[in-house]
Structure 1
């Protein structure tokens, strides 16, 4: 695998946290940061897929049964906020 060099800036306390975490896992800082970035990107993709699935399920339900009642919509919003799936776009559209 070819590696590319990046330059990042972090506050001193973040630098120490990164170095300690990398050392604890027995990895070079660059390898630890690369793995952390991949994990973050995968989590963001999973959340985006979850938000898309929720929108699709809601649209499917409403196409078949009509608009979701307000009480049910509020419960769904609360669940989605707790699950980290609610984004501002969906919240303002509901």
Structure 2
């Protein structure tokens, strides 16, 4: 950890009146919760696409690309891990 990050963490903890260890533990819990929400969002998106495709056939590539872009902008997709059509 760089000294700048360490100082930022210490300042944030002090501002909240918490020990650094407690502040870091809360930050880790928040990060884990956010990761779980993002994973649930990705799973829901995959499920919706699969349901649509089972009824209507594969999404057109243009629609698939727009979905990828939306999910990346929403923070639900960090890199291009969207499944292939079909």
Normalising by structure 1, report the TM-score. 0.82
Aligned residue in 2 for 1:60: 51
Aligned residue in 1 for 2:22: 31
1:88 equivalent to 2:68? Answer: no
Total equivalences in the alignment: 84
- Unmatched 5+ stretches in structure 2: none
Q: Cα RMSD over matched residues?
A: 1.4
Shift of 1:21: 0.2
Distance in 2 between residues matched to 1:14 and 1:53, nearest whole Å? 35
- Unmatched 5+ stretches in structure 1: 1-9
Q: Larger relative contact order (C-alpha < 8 A, sep ≥ 6)? A: 2
- Determine helix, strand or coil for the equivalent of 1:90: coil
Q: After the TM superposition, which segments of 4 or more aligned residues of structure 1 sit over 4 Å from their partners?
A: none
Shift of 1:75: 1.4
Alignment of 1:12-51 (within 5 A): 12-51=3-42
Shift of 1:88: 3.3
